[in-house]
Chain A
Amino acid sequence: MSGGAQYVVAAYAVIWFLLLAYVVVLGARSARVGRQVEAISRMLDRREQKDVEPDPAEDRA
Chain B
Amino acid sequence: MTDSPARIPGERAAMIWGVLATILVVAATIGVFLVAPEDADQGVIQRIFYFHVAIAITSLVAFAVSCVAGILYLRTRNDRWDDVGEASIRIGLLMSVLVVITGSIWAKASWGTWWVWSDPRLVTYLIVVLIYAAYFVLRSSAEDDRKMRYSAIYAIAGFASVPLSFYSVRVAESFVHPVVFTGSGANMPDSMLIWFVVSQAAMLALFIALLELDLVGRRSERALRRLALRLENA
Query: Chain A residues in contact with chain B, CB under 8 A?
Result: 3-5, 7-8, 10-12, 14-15, 18-19, 22-23, 26, 29-30, 33, 36-37, 40, 43-44
Query: Chain B residues in contact with chain A, CB under 8 A?
Result: 43-45, 47-48, 51-52, 55, 91, 94, 97-98, 101-102, 105-106, 108-109, 206, 210, 213-214, 217, 220-221, 224, 227-228, 231
B interface, over-half SS = helix
Closest 7 pairs between A and B when the two form their complex, measured CB to CB: A7-B109, A4-B45, A11-B102, A4-B109, A11-B105, A11-B48, A33-B220
Is the CB–CB distance between B227 and A22 below 8 Å?
no
Is the CB–CB distance between A8 and B98 below 8 Å?
no
Is the CB–CB distance between B105 and A30 below 8 Å?
no
Is the CB–CB distance between A44 and B231 below 8 Å?
yes
Assembly CA distance A18 to B106 (angstroms): 17
Assembly CA distance A10 to B51 (angstroms): 13
Known: A11-B106, A43-B231. 5 other contacts (CB 8 A): A14-B105, A15-B51, A19-B98, A30-B217, A36-B228
> What chain A residues lie within 8 Å of B231 (beta carbons)?
40, 43-44
Partner of B224, one of A4, A18, A36: A36
Partner of B227, one of A5, A8, A26, A40: A40
- Asked, given contacts A29-B217, A33-B221, whether A8 binds B97 with beta carbons under 8 Å apart, the answer is no
Assembly CA distance A29 to B214 (angstroms): 9
Interface centre among A7, A18, A36 (most CB of B within 10 A): A7
Assembly CA distance A7 to B45 (angstroms): 7
Assembly CA distance A22 to B18 (angstroms): 14
- Asked, given contacts A33-B220, A37-B224, whether A26 binds B213 with beta carbons under 8 Å apart, the answer is yes
> What chain A residues lie within 8 Å of B109 (beta carbons)?
4, 7-8
Is the CB–CB distance between A14 and B220 below 8 Å?
no
Is the CB–CB distance between B217 and A33 below 8 Å?
yes
In the complex, 21 of the A-B residue pairs with CB atoms within 8 angstroms, ordered by the A residue number, are: A7-B45, A7-B106, A8-B47, A8-B109, A10-B105, A11-B52, A11-B105, A14-B105, A15-B55, A15-B102, A18-B94, A23-B210, A26-B213, A26-B214, A29-B221, A30-B217, A33-B224, A36-B228, A37-B224, A40-B227, A40-B231
